[in-house]
Amino acid sequence: MAAENSPRGKGDTADPRPHLLALLPDEMELRLQEHMAARGQPTYRVGQVTEWIYRHLATSFDEMTNLPVAEREALERAFRIGQPETHTVSRSADGTVKHLWRMADGELVESVLIPAGDRLTLCLSSQAGCAMGCTFCATGWGGFGRQLTIDEIVTQYRSSARWLEENGREPITNVVFMGMGEPLANRKAVHPALTVLNQGFGLGARRITVSTVGVIPGIRELAVRPEQFGLALSLHSPVEELRAQLIPLEKRYPLPRLLEALREFRDAGGRRITFEYTMIRDVNDAPELAPLLAEQARELGAFVNLIPFNPIPDQDWLPSRPDRIEHFRRTLDEAGVSAAVREPRGRDIDAACGQLRANALVQIEGRPRPRAGRTVVT
């Protein structure tokens, strides 16, 4: 397992220049002010640079054409602004677009653009791989690579937004941390990345959702932030024993304590909680589980997403039958809980969590990375 890298550094290079997207907007402004002052440049240059970065999604200083060439070169010497290489872009017949990014050290990370009605949601990754080892998840089976840095998270947003612009598509309206990795196990990078997306790129906090498998300290940290970021809990079972079979982390952060932490999150005011429930045939879709799920969701005012299991290479499990999914939906509805059945998106391009990377690893390395240990300390 790779050593944890600094949230601001790159996992691979010794480049001393700070990446501008790894700085909080206030910090970035300050650093640019110092830089421009040291070069005897007028202060409006700072606004020009931030405008290029957050508004025009610039990926190189060369693009900043209203700055003198000497200033662009000086910026290049002082800071980084680049982005990972695009390894693959896959387009699904249903409009879903999946990017696989290749980090400078070769790690592969994916993000997915999902159009639905008047929304265009970007699903981004917080880690290369994941150490949580959930039994139904392709990323879990692929094992842990390393933490992503702040800029590696934020550039997924910037590159996706640019790709949409270049392809004449509508802009991103929502961001969910539901790609590879457990965002609340990489809080050092995810917290600043949330700030950069919100304050820098101007994406409303209520349009950003962090999905967690249940890292309680992370839920508490998110609850005390003043912004109203949404939280999705990957529940997958309303009973502890079954949940522990699907999610090793359940043993460390058991369901009753998790629900207590969610109550605190809800009481922090005005925040959305969603339950994710991946429905696996004859595993977690017994009819008697539905009222228990409904009760937990009702108590927290949570919205429930019922997601038919997307089969993965190392598992012979199947998605629940439609009548079972409908039974869950109806039970939730009758209990006054809002719920939606999420049709699998982008199946033809392996857009389920971790699948494109899993396939690419097989192609590149001949086999997936060895599975991570099941005990995770966060």
Q: Which of 75/235 has CB closer to ligand SF4?
A: 235
Nearer to ligand SAH, 159 or 284 (CB): 284
Q: Which residues bind ligand SAH (CB under 6 A)?
A: 136-137, 178, 182, 211-213, 234, 276, 278, 307, 309-310, 312, 352-353
Per-residue interface string for the shown chain with ligand SF4, residues 318-357, x marking contact by CB under 6 A: -----------------------------------x----
132 touches ligand SF4 (CB under 6 A) = yes
- Joined together, the tokens standing for residue 303 give 């919205």
For residue 192, which of 225, 239, 233 has the smallest C-alpha distance? 225
Inter-residue contact 113 to 160 (CB < 8 Å):
yes
At 294, which amino acid appears?
A: A
229 within 8 A of 183, measured Cβ to Cβ: no
Parallel, antiparallel or unpaired: strands 127-129 and 208-212 = unpaired
User: Cβ closer to ligand SF4: 246 or 337?
Assistant: 246
Q: Is 137 a catalytic residue?
A: no
Which amino acid is present at 203?
L
> Cβ 140 to ligand SF4, closest distance in Å?
3
Per CB under 6 A, the segment of 24-32, 135-143, 262-270, 360-368 that binds ligand SF4 is 135-143
Known catalytic membership, residue 110: yes
140 touches ligand SF4 (CB under 6 A): yes
Q: What does the DSSP 8-state code read for residue 258?
A: H
Q: Report the 10 Å Cβ neighbour count for 121.
A: 20
How far apart CA 115 and CA 112 sit, in angstroms, is 10
Which residues 6+ apart lie within 8 Å of 330 measured at CB?
none
**From residue 17 to residue 56, what is the string marking binding to ligand SF4 with x (rule CB under 6 A)?**
----------------------------------------
User: Is there a contact between 182 and 132 (Cβ–Cβ < 8 Å)?
Assistant: yes
Minimum CB distance to ligand SAH, residue 226 (Å): 23
Selected binder of ligand SF4 within 154, 213, 302, 356 (CB under 6 A): 213
Q: Which stretch binds ligand SF4 (CB under 6 A): 8-16, 61-69, 105-113, 130-138?
A: 130-138
- Cβ atoms of 266 and 151 within 8 Å: the answer is no
Alpha-carbon gap, residue 117 to 80, rounded angstroms: 37
Minimum distance from CB of 180 to ligand SF4 (Å)?
6
- Work out the burial of residue 76: count CB atoms within 10 Å of its CB; fewer than 13 is exposed, 13-18 middle, 19 or more buried: middle
CB closer to ligand SAH, 41 vs 234: 234
Contact 304, 297 (CB under 8 A): yes
Asked if 182 interacts with ligand SF4 (CB under 6 A), we say: yes
Q: Which residue, 52 or 136, has its beta carbon nearer to ligand SAH? A: 136
Q: Which residues are catalytic?
A: 110, 353
The residues binding ligand SF4 (CB under 6 A) are 130, 132-134, 137, 139-140, 181-182, 213, 234, 353
